[in-house]
Amino acid sequence: MPGPSKKTLLAGVIFSFVLFLSIILFFGLVFRPLHLTPENFYWLSRVMFWIGLLILFLYVAKIEKQPFLLWGETKQSFSFYIVSFLAIICTIFFGSIIIALILKLSGVNTNSQKFFQILKVFQHSMPLVIFTCLTAGVVEEFVFRGYLMPRLQLLVKKSWLVIIISSALFGVLHFGYGTVGNVLVPFFIGAVFAVHYNKFRNIRVLMFCHFFWDFMLLLIDVAYYKNPHHLPLKSFIFPI
């Protein structure tokens, strides 16, 4: 059975990006008038991302009529997961530091007021921190690596271009934090994940790395928010 046409694939790529961009842009306009507590507001915002993923799954089932993950998940040894995890985390850690240093030396503002507002909420709710990181790890990997990359590959053919496009879209959707660093660092992280997924076709390790990275950074950032004069990382509040 032939797969969907390029027009359908392109429509899916555009639809997925617009869907999650709409959630980010219009969520506050719809729910802020309800006067929810900040904690409930962020809980609901994360739930909306899961609903967005469900909508995308339905689009694939009803419109594309093919598997969501076009690249079949490869089976790997336990050592693969260990080595991949260490390599990915080390790469994005040192890469993020280099980007942060370049931005700082260039005089670019890297302090996101929006992020500090979120930390104020997170410091009182560890379940919300965990749910936020789980949402990012699962939903974003399914969308930007699992869904977008194979379809972009069918459209543009060139793997390097697929990596750049998917990473750029991933970075752009973090613009809401309000700084250049909040776009550049996710772009870099997205590129690292995309290179790995393009080579190994295993999304589970990326989901775990994404969850772990966000969780550890949020723990550090929340600790910094509580005690800004006692942590050596106070100049590098990494965007997630």
Q: DSSP string of 171-190?
A: HHTTGGG-SSHHHHHHHHHH
Q: How far is it, in rounded angstroms, from Cα 164 to Cα 77?
A: 29
The CA distance from 236 to 102, in Å, is 12
Q: Is residue 72 part of a domain?
A: yes
pTM of this prediction exceeds 0.85? yes
Specify if 240 maps to a domain. no
pLDDT at 58: 97
- What is the C-alpha separation between 54 and 67, in angstroms, rounded? 14
The Cα-based distances of 16 to 63, 73, 138, 145 in angstroms read 13, 21, 15, 12
Q: Is residue 56 part of a domain?
A: yes
In a domain, 78, yes or no: yes
Domain that holds residue 30: 6-226
The model's pLDDT over 63-76, given as tens digits with 9 standing for 90+, comes to 999 999 999 999 99
Read off the pLDDT band of 225 (50, 70, 90).
low
The pLDDT score that the predictor gives to residue 228 is 55
pLDDT single digits (tens) 43-101: 999 999 999 999 999 999 999 999 999 999 999 999 999 999 999 999 999 999 999 88
Amino acid at site 179: T
| 36 has a pLDDT exceeding 70 | yes
Query: Residue 25 — pLDDT band, cuts 50, 70, 90?
Result: confident
The answer to whether residue 87 is domain-embedded is yes
Q: Is residue 161 part of a domain?
A: yes
Domain-embedded: residue 195:
yes
Asked whether residue 237 is domain-assigned, the answer is: no
